[in-house]
Amino acid sequence: MAWMVRAYLDFCWVGEGVGGSVVFQTAANIPGYDISGPGSQPNAQTIRFQDQEQVQGTSTTLPTHPVVADFEAAVTLIATNTNAYLVANPQIVQQMQNWAAGGP
């Protein structure tokens, strides 16, 4: 069985000096929130990017299994892909910059 890493990257805007806000303290699938107390949650616009990469160094023939470096390479490639996408699509970066001025 092969392995894959799938990532969802949320780029969020939080107003200057406002900090994150949420109306409850424990929430499912919100990083920074757990039973120990509140974390930070954006209170404005968000754009989501998603990508997936197969973990290299794995195969369908056992006992070949991935090691940490194989997963690290997949995560690094996802970050590289996201960066390349933003560089190739400056209008998306401009849209995110416009959020500070109240843009959609």
Is 61 contained in some domain?
yes
pLDDT, residue 45, reads 84
- All residues at 6 or more sequence positions from 15 whose CB lies less than 8 Å from its CB, including other chains: 43, 44, 100
pLDDT digits (tens, 9 = 90+) for 22-60: 555 555 556 555 555 555 666 678 899 999 999 887 555
pLDDT, residue 13, reads 82
Is 104 contained in some domain?
no
Domain around 11: 4-99
Of 96, 83, 89, 97, nearest in space to 7 by CA: 83
Q: Which of 33-37, 57-61, 84-88, 94-98 reaches the highest mean pLDDT?
A: 84-88
pLDDT digits (tens, 9 = 90+) for 50-82: 999 998 875 555 566 788 888 999 999 999 999
Is 89 contained in some domain?
yes
Is 76 contained in some domain?
yes
Q: % helix / strand / coil in the chain, to the nearest 5? A: 30, 20, 50
pLDDT, residue 19, reads 57
Is 45 contained in some domain?
yes
pLDDT, residue 32, reads 58
Q: How many domains does the chain have?
A: 1
| Contact call for residues 33 and 22 (beta carbons, < 8 A) | yes
d(C-alpha 56, C-alpha 34), whole Å: 33
pLDDT, residue 80, reads 97
